[in-house]
Amino acid sequence: MIEVKGLSKQFKEVKAVDDVNFTVKEGEILGLLGENGAGKTTTLRMIATMLKPSAGTANINGFDLLKQPDMVRKEIGILFGGEVGLYDRLTARENIKYFADLNNMDGKEADKNIEKLVEMLDMREFIDRRVENFPGA
């Protein structure tokens, strides 16, 4: 569950996000729509703990993004459009393992979870291909 309360971000004189409030319950999907510069990416970056809000807060599965940023990061995954944030010369498996390691996941646990993902997302045919060879990469 995501609960955003009075989230605001100001960069000097520019108010990028102004008092945003919304709730996304488990199983719901929410889309943020708006023109370029409307504050969508800034809002998501605050929720992901990449930017500190000027005001307000959010709770992600019961964890406050200001008081418990490490716990919030454990609850979310975020990927912005454009740059995919993956390393072209690594395989899909190696990319996932790299990010698991960055998040202090045990190697055996990471391997087990990667196998679960491979099965769940039917990734067997490309899990060991370099990302640079993926369509659109």
Q: What is the pLDDT of residues 16-51, one digit of tens each?
A: 999 999 999 998 988 889 888 899 989 999 999 989
Number of domains within the chain:
2
Examine the pLDDT at 52 and tell me if it is beyond 90. yes
Task: Give the pair of three-digit tokens for residue 35.
Answer: 């023109």
Statement to judge: residues 43 and 69 lie in one domain: yes
Statement to judge: residues 96 and 67 lie in one domain: no
Domain that holds residue 119: 92-133
Residue 100 lies in a domain: yes
Statement to judge: residues 69 and 99 lie in one domain: no
Statement to judge: residues 97 and 71 lie in one domain: no
What gap in Å lies between CA 117 and CA 78, rounded to an integer?
Answer: 16
What confidence score (pLDDT) does residue 53 get? 96
Statement to judge: residues 49 and 110 lie in one domain: no
Global pTM?
0.62
Strands 63-64, 14-24: parallel, antiparallel or unpaired by DSSP? Answer: unpaired
Q: What is the pLDDT of residues 84-129, one digit of tens each?
A: 667 888 999 998 998 888 888 899 999 999 999 999 888 899 899 9
DSSP sequence for 47-112: HTTSS--SEEEEEETTEETTT-HHHHHHH-----SSS----TTSBHHHHHHHHHHHTT--HHHHHH
Statement to judge: residues 8 and 55 lie in one domain: yes
